[in-house]
Amino acid sequence: MGTMLGTTLPDVDVWSERVTVALGQNPGLFTGPGTNTYLVGSGRRRILLDTGSGADAYPDVLARAMQRAGCDALQEIVLTHAHVDHLGGVAQVQARWGPLRVSKLPDPEDAPALGFAPLADGAVVRTEGATLRAVHTPGHATDHLCFILEEEDALFSGDNVLGIGTTVIPSHGGDLLDYMRSLERMLALSPRRIYPAHGPLVEDGAQKLREYIAHRDARERQILAALAQGDAAIAAIVKRVYVDVPEALHAAAGHSVAAHLGKLEREGRVRRLDARAPLEAVWSRA
């Protein structure tokens, strides 16, 4: 998820000899042009990586993508994480292509009825022409997996890196400290391309990861500077730090500042002067 208004992508596109994308038909403020669902491999049966949100128009688009990719069946479904814009299409894909296995990193909040097969950090999923290796990368969601496509040194980044814009760290399940560690882990893999869950493909993955890290680091320095200048409430910090951002977006900015303060608190660099929730609390440098 990320804000990416104004970006459009074709419904079906071939991004490499082993990667074809079918757009989830679920455009929106947080999904941009919609979720990228990927057919991975080069054989008759492909892995489907993520399934979109369950939009009525999606199965026909996926069928067209399979035709375009030159395959006639799905081997199995693999999910980056349990947000609805990634797993919401599982039922309709299974209704059309049969009871395929669905794998993801187990999470206590997963509905048992969905019967996911467990996929651990480091697990490998193979198909003809492609090898996917799972990398646990929490921060946007606790159960988030990225996948290395070994044949291309490419990375399916899920929602951790987007083709345009920045990733949302939700107050439920999100954790900015975990997220920053995940970005470092992804960078250490030195991916060439990044295939994101939303937005266009990223040709220089390592560079994009460095940009993401630098962006968050700069924001953190601004927030610490605002605290040093006496701002104690998130509203005041937002006013100072997001001076160029329209006021309509200040509520969203407040959530982002709260995520930063939560990270800094875990690191012992700021403290909460009262027991209120992050958004309402009074903050100071430690």
Binding residues for Zn ion, per CB under 5 A?
A: 1, 83, 159
CB closer to Zn ion out of 168 and 226: 168
Phi and psi at residue 6, to the nearest 5°: 95, -10
CB closer to Zn ion out of 11 and 143: 143
CB closer to Zn ion out of 46 and 83: 83
What are the tokens at 159? 């929602």
CB closer to Zn ion out of 127 and 160: 160
State the nearest-atom distance from the C-beta of 122 to Zn ion, in Å.
22
DSSP secondary structure code for residue 198 in this structure: B
State the nearest-atom distance from the C-beta of 126 to Zn ion, in Å.
26
CB closer to Zn ion out of 75 and 157: 157
State the nearest-atom distance from the C-beta of 198 to Zn ion, in Å.
9
CA–CA separation, 39 and 74 (whole Å): 8
Task: Residue 78: name the closest of 195, 174, 175, 173 by CA.
Answer: 195
Q: Other CB atoms closer than 10 Å to residue 109's CB: what's the count? A: 11
CA–CA separation, 128 and 208 (whole Å): 29
DSSP H helix total and E strand total for the chain: 7, 14
Secondary structure of residue 274 in the 3-state scheme: coil
State the nearest-atom distance from the C-beta of 2 to Zn ion, in Å.
9
What are the tokens at 246? 């329209």
State the nearest-atom distance from the C-beta of 81 to Zn ion, in Å.
6
State the nearest-atom distance from the C-beta of 184 to Zn ion, in Å.
20
What are the tokens at 216? 């968050």
State the nearest-atom distance from the C-beta of 167 to Zn ion, in Å.
8
- Tell me the residue nearest to Zn ion as measured from the CB: 83
Q: Other CB atoms closer than 10 Å to residue 35's CB: what's the count? A: 33
CB closer to Zn ion out of 83 and 219: 83
CA–CA separation, 246 and 225 (whole Å): 21
Secondary structure of residue 155 in the 3-state scheme: strand
CB closer to Zn ion out of 20 and 167: 167
